[in-house]
Amino acid sequence: MIDALRRLRPLALCAVGLMMIGACREELEGGAACPVLCPEQGLEVRDTVLYPVVLDSTLAGYPLIGSEPALIVARRGDTLVTAGVTRFDTLLQRITRGDTAGRTITSIDTADLVISIGAAPIAKDSVTIELYDVDTTVTGIDTAAVRQLFRPDRLISSLTLDKDSLVGVRRIPVPVSFVQAKIIGADRVRFGIAVRSDSSAQIQLLTAESAGAAILSYLARAPADTQTLSIVASSNVSPTPGAAAMSFADYQVIVEGTFAPPGFLAVGGVPGHRVYLRFDVPQDLIEENTIVRALLQLTQTPSGGVDGDDTVQVIPRLVRATSVLDPEPGKAALVLGDFASFPMPALGAVPADTGVKTLQIATALAVWRLDPDTTFTRAIVLQALDEGLAPHTALFFSGDPDVPQALRPRLQITYVPRAGFGLP
């Protein structure tokens, strides 16, 4: 008998539960108190699709020149040709070993440029690293003028490496006559670094920003003394009149790069591209409702650049610029919230892919609910996780009027209307 009761107990509990659920359903139709007991019955979930992007723009040139953590030096057909520049403003002219006054250098015996090559080079054959003299009389940084100096009559030296010996610290011999003339003449040195191979080739040069700045090393001679001197690449210049001094020990030069065609938004590539999107979301929608989900939907189209089968990790970043910068997206795109404070998941986009891609940006709407739109701009930036370090590019349709509406950026919002509790 006791065993029989034990077997019936679960069935009795289920019956009681079903009766309670039925009662709650009846109460749900007649009053506002029941959602407290059965909240799943009191939620009205709604969806809406908006086209709230009032400004979209592709911005190129990231990381900012002179701040690159690595320089992409590549020759990949006619699609991507890049080089690096490393600068030595001051060359040591005296040997000071055991003598504070020092002795003036009169000659040198050997000279090398020491570079650090990062991981994951691209090469099918041996690669020749070429050094060019790219010093100009132009003040500041003029990459257009520098590009013109990667030509045969400015070639200084080269080093050929096996494809399996590219990574690590490498010494490129520099003609003694070239360095000696610079030292004795109290001149400066600007090395342009390029690659050449029988097939596509690409390397990453570490920079001053990644503690891998190039070093110019030479064995110096003075009367009755010799010393090996090493100088780390360094330079502080103002790129434009009135600009603050910046470090330009090394920087990237783009000869042929990947640029977004009109009517499209590009993320990634070399030079690095960002997408700036400014929104106009109805204030009452985000203030008077609980936002469950906010999905930014972009329609991807295949890009014609290299590494089309790679994956670009597209990161949505919240813009924290004031609305004063609304007319200047290039400046606003530099004022971004950090990942930890404003987390939004990344999207993995394959450049050769097509179709609708979705990014979750509910964090942005939660911030916009609290921040008045008269103070902070309502915008996000899409950037590649490896910005400026890889040529792969994700391409999306923009909100240009010539683009069909079905292909333009849109925002799908799932929300629950806020309702107070109490008697009807």
pLDDT tens digit sequence for 37-47: 455 556 789 99
Q: Collect contacts of 170-173 with beta carbons under 8 A, ≥24 apart.
A: 170/114, 170/115, 170/116, 170/117, 170/129, 171/112, 171/113, 171/114, 171/217, 172/112, 172/113, 172/114, 172/115, 172/129, 172/131, 173/110, 173/111, 173/112
The answer, yes or no, to whether residue 135 has pLDDT greater than 90, is yes
Instruction: Indicate the helix (H) or strand (E) that contains 104.
Output: strand 103-104
Mean of all residue pLDDT scores within the chain: 86
Of 141-145, 185-189, 193-197, which gets the smallest average pLDDT?
141-145
How much is the pLDDT for 223?
86
Of 160-174, 232-246, 275-289, 354-368, which gets the smallest average pLDDT?
232-246
The residue ranking higher by pLDDT, 361 or 79, is 361
Contacts of 255 (CB under 8 A, 6+ apart): 81, 82, 83, 147, 150
Q: If you average pLDDT over residues 403-410, what whole number do you get?
A: 96
Q: If you average pLDDT over residues 363-372, what whole number do you get?
A: 92
Look at domain 46-61+258-417 and name its CATH class: mainly beta
Q: According to CATH, where is 2.60.120 located in the chain?
A: 46-61+258-417
Instruction: Indicate the helix (H) or strand (E) that contains 22.
Output: helix 2-30
Query: Which residue is associated with the tokens 């009766």?
Result: 19
Q: Is 424 exposed, middle or buried (0-12, 13-18, 19+ CB in 10 A)?
A: exposed
How much is the pLDDT for 59?
94
Q: CB-hemisphere CA count at 13 Å for 140?
A: 12
The answer, yes or no, to whether residue 262 has pLDDT greater than 80, is yes
Contact indicator for 234, 213 with CB cutoff of 8 Å: yes
Torsions phi, psi for 59 (to 5 deg)? -115, 130
Tokens coding 401: 């009027």
What does each C-alpha distance from 99 to 49, 95, 106, 231, 357 come to in angstroms?
Answer: 76, 8, 17, 19, 67
Q: If you average pLDDT over residues 22-39, what whole number do you get?
A: 42
